[in-house]
Structure 1
Amino acid sequence: MHSADDIAMPFQSEIPKQKWPVHVEVRLKSRATARFNTIQTHVMNWIASFDRINLSSSLIGWEDVPELASSVEQIATSDSACPSQSLLIDEMLLQVHVYQPFNGDVDEEFANGVGGDEDDETMAATVRELPNRSWEGLWDSLIYEDNIKMKLLDYIHATLLLSDAGVDFNLVSWNRVVLLHGPPGTGKTSLCRALAQKLSIRLSERYSHARLFEINSHSLFSKWFSESGKLVQRLFSNEVESLTAARASAMAGTEPSDGLRVVNALLTQLDKLKHRKNVLVMSTSNLVKAIDTAFVDRADIVQYIDLPPRDAVYEILRTCLSEVMSRGIVIPENIPSLQQALIYERTAPAQSSVAAMPDGSDAHGKSKLVGLRLLALATECRAQRMSGRALRRLPVLTLAKHISAGSIVSSYSSKVNGSTPAKDSSSNADVDTWLSGMETVVAEQATQRGNLI
């Protein structure tokens, strides 16, 4: 006779810890000649000596490893779905990606070359080799809500998993088409470029070469009747990404019938491309209702990219301010993270005026004041429905209109003239002056927008 506890014992087992995928990106120097798999092994061995690693951060200490110091330029952990800011080594599914970016931002260009007329040589598309050094940091600079970037990466990995598993395409189908839509200035095109850059790094072991084709959508239409469809076919023979307009207007007679041929040719080429595992079609639109429904139906992901919410605005403003501080334009101060600033806001007195904000006489008070002022500025920017593009333009307008740019000692001028480094220069703007300037610019822009109505 056994008790209930005795019977349950053999079936009890320890619940395994959840392991989170963590991607470590290793950027090599331009002239490095070491083999990628050799560097990967050295990085894995080096990381094995750690107890815990911070996520979304640059790692330090690899400079002390001779095999890495001679070839590596940077080692960083990428963003992760894990809600924690750091993980123990045994909580990670570590994936190390070694890459060597192409230098420069020179794009190869393709002209349409239709009709035999040199006057019709419109630039049809550009192609850029990836990963590219000019797009380093682009992924991290894009800040959205709802974890949009991770969702897009998860989609790509899902399609690869299904392809590798040999899933019957007639039973489970996908098109490898992503459509991003939303207001202008929200970073849709930048997100496409950043995603292509990120995939070229993450999939470097699978695909040794990556290229991004960007089409000038206006070039799809030729002045030579019936040639536009051929143009699309020719471009898609090189595996490109593009954008379509609705056939409905063409059928209604508001668009030339040649436009209908363009859309039909595009849809045909999309159906051909979906069988290629190494092609992803990314498209953007400010007017999703104007896009042909057949194209929308082919998109596996139709993602709305909205104007940034207040929390995202704060992060954009914080990264802008951190950048001008790091370059010696503004005297460095501690800028609190969004989480810390929100704590300051919850514990602050129920008063909103700058005069009622905490005293900034000590370092902690100063940091708290900066965080609260940035949050207040973020609230105002959100109320004005400012786009990410407009937000990242604020430092330029602040410097041009409200700070004496001529008195700023930049890092470059310090190097050239042998003067005191800018970060130690008392002539440079302090954070209070800078924040006041940004607040004034935002107020001025609100007035100017009011004049446009």
Structure 2
Amino acid sequence: MSTTKRDALSTVNNNNNNNGNGFKSGGNCALAFDDDVDKEEESLLVLENRKRKSNITWEDEDKIIIKNHQHQHQRKLKNMRCDVEVRLKRDSIAKKSEVKKRVLEYFERSGMPTVRADEEINLDDSREEEDIVIALRAEELGPLWCGDFDELLAFLRNNCEKIVTYWDASGECEGMQLMFCEVDFRIHVHEINEDGAGEEREDDEEIATYKEYALPCREFSEYWDSLYLDEGKKLRLKNYARTALEFGNLNVNASLVAFNRVVLLHGPPGTGKTTMCKGLAQKLAIQMLDTYSEPVFVEINAHSLFSKWFSESGKLVSKLFEKIQELTDDEDTFVFVLVDEVESLAAARKATGAEPSDAIRVVNALLTQLDALKEKKNAMVLTTSNVTDAIDVAFIDRADVKMYVGNPADAARGHILLSSINELKRVGILPPTKLEMAKDSNLFKDVVIATEGMSGRALRKLPFLTIAGMNRSMCDGPINDEEFLRAVREQAINEKRERERLGANN
């Protein structure tokens, strides 16, 4: 170790009982530095510790330091935001404030946070891989180590069902290491709602006009993480939603700075538009619980709003939105409204000519209600469409965000297939060994190429259809990885061939 690094380590040990500006945790600290010690020395110390354990060369470590320096200008401007979603177990009796405090303590002790894609914290085996620095510090720093980290992990295991980190960063920041004080940790502790949807029906109507969910709910819990979209789309949508909420909370005059809190996702069927809306609502609900303790999600059945009685459809739309307005009257409630296949409600009025049809009344009623709803800062409208050409231009103008969601690209298809394969491994249909090496194989690449043009929905069905076509029983034991991948490739080719035939017949 260089003299400088020894001095840094000595400084850390000498500050064991310092009450100054070092990181503190219950009177002790996992790692503390005097103000006169440059923060880069901490990085070098941690890297040297990792080097001893993992045989990483200094050349590799230099790359890490260089990558950090490339983003140094960003880090001087502001701390990087990291949202930490903490889902409590149903039987937990711990106070949310205590859980939040202990989760933050976990990150403080876990060393230099690394920017990664959405990552679940492994509380059962936390001393491996990225958290190895914890053990190194305990070993190297001696008296600095508090000795009760196992108790901290036990507390989190006993009370937390799941802990996931979400970084506000683009892909180019992947792998960047930060000091604890350079991260703006936002800890969101929540309980999951196990109840399903409640339905609302109009008199004499067999179909429910809308479903209502109390958020965050179990049904939506995996939606956001299951989506693999082109770079930046999820982050862009999340940032828009946050900004719209902040503008509302600041009482920005929407007549001077126009924003309607209306989102339109459009694209071909099966690309995840509806899932994205539900996942976004779930994520925002979790992150705004301190402000809105009772978020709800209202899913409108657009087709049910067309009455069998002439001229009644517009009245049904108005009546439905009046109920939504009533929900927003509660200041503790935030209402997410989903209108799936919105083209059925917001059909272009020019397509009906001069005829005063029921469809025109529906469009007019919808536009009127959207204008009224934008006055409510605790409401957001999420819409999807497969046929944007049919949507009235007045509705499109009211949407703040118009985002195209197409079929997944190569990288996204690979992620989707891997997540499905890992699920089959979890339940024993495929061998439990990891497929991480296989994803770089030529066979896996062939599978990804064979699925080009398929929607996310079709990709999710592919493993099931593959196994169904292999003429095997579940009692036959796990299927060999290579055999399975070859079968998936053939199934993908057959699926695309059948779709082409269907298209030719239409």
With the shorter chain as reference, the TM-score category is 0.7 to 0.9
RMSD of aligned residue pairs (Cα, Å): 2.1
| Equivalent of residue 412 in structure 2, options 306, 312, 329 | 312
- The offset of 1:392, in angstroms, is 0.5
Q: Name structure 2 gaps, 5 residues minimum.
A: 1-71, 127-149, 325-336
Q: SS of the residue aligned with 1:269?
A: helix
Distance in 1 (CA, whole Å) between partners of 2:175 and 2:470 is 37
Distance in 1 (CA, whole Å) between partners of 2:425 and 2:370 is 46
Structure 2 residue aligned with 1:340: none
2:192 maps to a residue whose letter is: P
Q: SS of the residue aligned with 1:238?
A: helix
2:242 maps to a residue whose letter is: H
- Does 2:93 correspond to 1:33? yes
Structure 2 residue aligned with 1:335: 435
Cα separation, partners in 2 of 1:285 and 1:156, compared to 1, 3 Å: same
Structure 2 residue aligned with 1:448: 498
Q: SS of the residue aligned with 1:189?
A: helix
Cα separation, partners in 2 of 1:259 and 1:368, compared to 1, 3 Å: closer
2:362 maps to a residue whose letter is: V
Structure 1 residue aligned with 2:396: 296
* Mean Cα deviation higher: 393-402 or 69-78: 69-78
Cα separation, partners in 2 of 1:41 and 1:446, compared to 1, 3 Å: same
Structure 2 residue aligned with 1:323: 423
Query: Contact 2:438 / 2:444 at 8 angstroms: preserved in 1?
Result: no
- The offset of 1:86, in angstroms, is 5.2
Structure 2 residue aligned with 1:415: none
1:282 maps to a residue whose letter is: L
- The offset of 1:172, in angstroms, is 0.5
Within 5 Å, which residues of 2 pair with 1:334-373? 334-336=434-436, 367-368=437-438, 371-373=441-443
- Does 2:272 correspond to 1:187? yes
- The offset of 1:370, in angstroms, is 5.7
1:276 maps to a residue whose letter is: K
Cα separation, partners in 2 of 1:368 and 1:226, compared to 1, 3 Å: closer
- The offset of 1:17, in angstroms, is 6.2
Cα separation, partners in 2 of 1:270 and 1:405, compared to 1, 3 Å: same
Distance in 2 (CA, whole Å) between partners of 1:370 and 1:437 is 18
Structure 1 residue aligned with 2:353: 251
Query: Contact 1:124 / 1:216 at 8 angstroms: preserved in 2?
Result: yes
Q: SS of the residue aligned with 2:296?
A: strand
Query: Contact 2:446 / 2:489 at 8 angstroms: preserved in 1?
Result: no
Q: SS of the residue aligned with 1:123?
A: coil
Within 5 Å, which residues of 2 pair with 1:4-403? 16=76, 18-54=78-114, 55=116, 56-61=118-123, 64-65=151-152, 66-82=154-170, 83-85=173-175, 87-88=177-178, 89-104=180-195, 106-113=196-203, 118=204, 120-239=205-324, 240-242=337-339, 243=342, 244-253=346-355, 257-336=357-436, 367-368=437-438, 371-382=441-452, 385-402=453-470
* Mean Cα deviation higher: 442-451 or 129-138: 442-451
- The offset of 1:164, in angstroms, is 3.4
Q: SS of the residue aligned with 1:70?
A: helix
- The offset of 1:403, in angstroms, is 5.2
1:372 maps to a residue whose letter is: N
Distance in 2 (CA, whole Å) between partners of 1:71 and 1:121 is 43
Distance in 2 (CA, whole Å) between partners of 1:39 and 1:172 is 39
Distance in 2 (CA, whole Å) between partners of 1:241 and 1:368 is 39
* Mean Cα deviation higher: 76-85 or 308-317: 76-85
Query: Contact 1:24 / 1:77 at 8 angstroms: preserved in 2?
Result: yes
Q: Name structure 1 gaps, 5 residues minimum.
A: 1-13, 337-366, 409-426
Distance in 2 (CA, whole Å) between partners of 1:451 and 1:371 is 31
- The offset of 1:393, in angstroms, is 0.3
1:241 maps to a residue whose letter is: L
Query: Contact 2:426 / 2:432 at 8 angstroms: preserved in 1?
Result: yes
- The offset of 1:371, in angstroms, is 3.4
Identity %: 36
Residues 96-121 of structure 1, C-alpha deviations (whole Å, 9 max, x = no match):
001101114x21111132xxxx2x34
Distance in 2 (CA, whole Å) between partners of 1:207 and 1:376 is 48
- Does 2:484 correspond to 1:438? no
Distance in 1 (CA, whole Å) between partners of 2:122 and 2:416 is 25
1:58 maps to a residue whose letter is: E
* Mean Cα deviation higher: 56-65 or 396-405: 56-65
Distance in 2 (CA, whole Å) between partners of 1:74 and 1:435 is 31
Residues 214-259 of structure 1, C-alpha deviations (whole Å, 9 max, x = no match):
1111111111222211211111123343322222223344xx6111
Distance in 2 (CA, whole Å) between partners of 1:379 and 1:87 is 34
Q: SS of the residue aligned with 1:145?
A: coil
1:193 maps to a residue whose letter is: K
Structure 2 residue aligned with 1:343: none
- The offset of 1:72, in angstroms, is 1.4
Query: Contact 2:211 / 2:299 at 8 angstroms: preserved in 1?
Result: yes
Distance in 2 (CA, whole Å) between partners of 1:181 and 1:175 is 18
Residues 31-72 of structure 1, C-alpha deviations (whole Å, 9 max, x = no match):
323332221122112221121234321213487425433321
Distance in 1 (CA, whole Å) between partners of 2:487 and 2:167 is 32
Query: Contact 1:182 / 1:286 at 8 angstroms: preserved in 2?
Result: yes
Query: Contact 1:17 / 1:91 at 8 angstroms: preserved in 2?
Result: no
- The offset of 1:324, in angstroms, is 0.8
Cα separation, partners in 2 of 1:402 and 1:370, compared to 1, 3 Å: farther
Distance in 1 (CA, whole Å) between partners of 2:217 and 2:403 is 25
Cα separation, partners in 2 of 1:230 and 1:443, compared to 1, 3 Å: same
Residues 190-211 of structure 1, C-alpha deviations (whole Å, 9 max, x = no match):
1111111111111111111111
Cα separation, partners in 2 of 1:107 and 1:199, compared to 1, 3 Å: same
**Normalised TM-score (structure 1):** 0.80
2:111 maps to a residue whose letter is: D
Q: SS of the residue aligned with 1:109?
A: strand
